[in-house]
Amino acid sequence: MRRAALLLGLALGAASVANARAPDLAQGRAVALGGGAGDQQACAACHGADGAGVMPIYPRLAGQAAFYLYKQLLDFRSGERESAVMGPIARRLTPREMEDVAGFYAAARAHYSPPADADGAQLQQGGTLAASGSEERGIPPCANCHGQAGRGMPPSFPYLAGQSKDYLAGQLAAFRNGSRRNDPLDVMRRIAGQLDTSDVSALAAYFAHVYPPARIQ
């Protein structure tokens, strides 16, 4: 019941930032590769032309839900999600450019190669927490919202699979310390508050090793 209400709330939250017009992918590509009209850096310099992310600190955008990406850009602009890098970039984009570039990266397909280092015990700890949560510690399964194996549930729940360890751990820390407070109904801030450092490393390592959606051969 509680969960149904929560999911409904999240869905309504999503509807309130409705982007009615279909994104123009060619314009989105122009922004990604050349920056927008406002003279910002090309997104591709950090996120890659294919959205794979050129370094572990830059999140993977390829195939992420367009609505989620668009909402992040709005939140960087408003400061609800603080980022010294993305804040100024987002503030120079027009809403239309945001829609287009979000659509472009949502449609992108990018390579993925799992990180070389793997600790089987840690992967299992993270994987189990992700799939089953921990009832006694009040941690819901990440799969409830982020989908099985972190594949995401568009439009509002981002995939986590295939994001880098550093990025994931960084976001969990940001939810925890409140510098990221753009999650509807505080869901992620509450969950992040329940996780200890070993959970965070295990979850981050696990999701970093899971193949992002649509990469099965």
What is the number of other CB atoms lying within 10 angstroms of the CB of residue 21? 10
Query: What 3-state class would DSSP assign to 155?
Result: coil
**C-alpha closest to that of 208 among 139, 126, 135:** 126
User: From ligand HEC, other proteins, none, which one binds at residue 187 (CB under 5 to 8 Å depending on kind)?
Assistant: ligand HEC
Binding mask 126-165 for other proteins (x = CB under 8 A): xxx--xx----------x----xx-----------x----
Q: Please choose, out of 15-23, 80-88, 106-114, 209-217, the segment that lies near ligand HEC by the rule CB under 6 A.
A: 80-88
User: Is 134 a binder of ligand HEC (CB under 6 A)?
Assistant: no
Say which residue the tokens 């929560």 belong to: 6
Query: What 3-state class would DSSP assign to 130?
Result: helix
**C-alpha closest to that of 170 among 70, 74, 57:** 57
- Pick one of 27, 122, 128, 144: the residue that binds ligand HEC (CB under 6 A): 144
Q: Which class for 92: exposed (0-12), middle (13-18), buried (19 or more C-beta within 10 A)? A: middle
Query: What are the beta bridge partners of residue 13?
Result: none
Q: Which residues bind ligand HEC (CB under 6 A)?
A: 6, 10, 31, 40-41, 43, 45-47, 57-59, 61, 64, 69, 71-73, 83, 85-86, 89, 93, 101, 139-140, 142, 144-146, 156-158, 160, 168, 170-172, 182-184, 187-188, 191, 203
Q: Which residues bind other proteins (CB under 8 A)?
A: 113-114, 116, 118-121, 123-124, 126-128, 131-132, 143, 148-149, 161, 206, 209-211, 215-217
